[in-house]
Amino acid sequence: MTIGSVQPPRVIGHRGAARLAPENTLAGLRKAKAEGATWVEFDIKLSADDVPIVMHDDTLERTTNGSGPVRMRTLAELTRLDAGSWWGPAFAGEPIPTLDAALDTLAALGLGANVELKPCPGCEAETGRVVGARLARAWPASLPPPLLSSFSPEALEAARLQAPALDRAVLVNDRCAEWEALAARVGAVAVHTWWGFITAELARDVLAAGYALRAYTVNDVAEARRLFALGVAGVFSDVPGWVGTA
């Protein structure tokens, strides 16, 4: 069954290829491509001056040499940081990418993407609005349209207003029981959740309701096979080439 207007592959690189290169960096996108991935997932949030950047955490400590909340730093401050040294010396100096830089790299590599809206607290609607508008204007025409996703329905609603033609997916974890209401609220085509939540019953219900189901983060081939057998359309993997043998 075809669900949505774009069909991502069964294996999508998670945060680029997060076990093989520093997450959410251009080097990570290149690594995913080198591993054989055709799509990647990455996380987007806003700088203090409302520029979309590729970053997972709300604070800088774990994946950069900076400190404090991302939302307190301007783009100029963020782009001076090193987002690669924490991973290893080979990646020293790797910057926090802007969304625009990520789009250029995707276009150069021919990679499709699931863009996850990952708003800093209190910035849910603003993040959806800014990123939705940017994707509607600047998404590379050579690529398949992106799939937008978020744990924040507010962000997805705001993105929908700016980019109504793009497919959306709801991410659910602690709100797992609410998947159907959340998906309907944002006009989603898919439900994305943690692999450990996916039972035969959940998969049956999500598919019967007309949504595609995807799982994060799957780094084990046997687990990927279990999920695909249940009808899961795709998995996000830190090792996209390896799981691709599933």
Binding site for ligand G3P (CB under 6 A): 14, 41, 43, 56, 116, 149, 171, 192, 216, 236
Beta-ladder partners of 13: 40, 237
As measured in angstroms, the least distance from the Cβ of 89 to ligand G3P is 25
Answer for the pair 170, 142: CB distance below 8 angstroms, yes or no. no
| Complex with ligand G3P: residue 80 or 220, whichever CB lies closer | 220
Q: Give the span between the Cα atoms of 48 and 192, in whole angstroms.
A: 29
Answer for the pair 157, 185: CB distance below 8 angstroms, yes or no. yes
* Known catalytic membership, residue 192: no
**6, 19, 51, 56: which is the annotated catalytic residue?**
56
Residue 149, contacted partner among Mg ion, ligand G3P, none, CB below 5-8 A by kind: ligand G3P
Angle 31-170-168 from CA coordinates, rounded to 5°: 75
> Quick one: which H or E segment has residue 225?
helix 221-229
The correct pick among 23, 35, 94, 116 for binding Mg ion (CB under 5 A) is: 116
Q: Give the span between the Cα atoms of 158 and 179, in whole angstroms.
A: 19
The SS3 of residue 101 is: helix
| Complex with Mg ion: residue 148 or 189, whichever CB lies closer | 148
**14, 15, 31, 214: which is the annotated catalytic residue?**
14
* Known catalytic membership, residue 14: yes
Interface of this chain with Mg ion, residues 40 to 79, rule: CB under 5 A: 43
As measured in angstroms, the least distance from the Cβ of 124 to ligand G3P is 15
What does the binding site for Mg ion look like in residue numbers (CB under 5 A)? 43, 116
Q: Please give the positions annotated as active site.
A: 14, 56
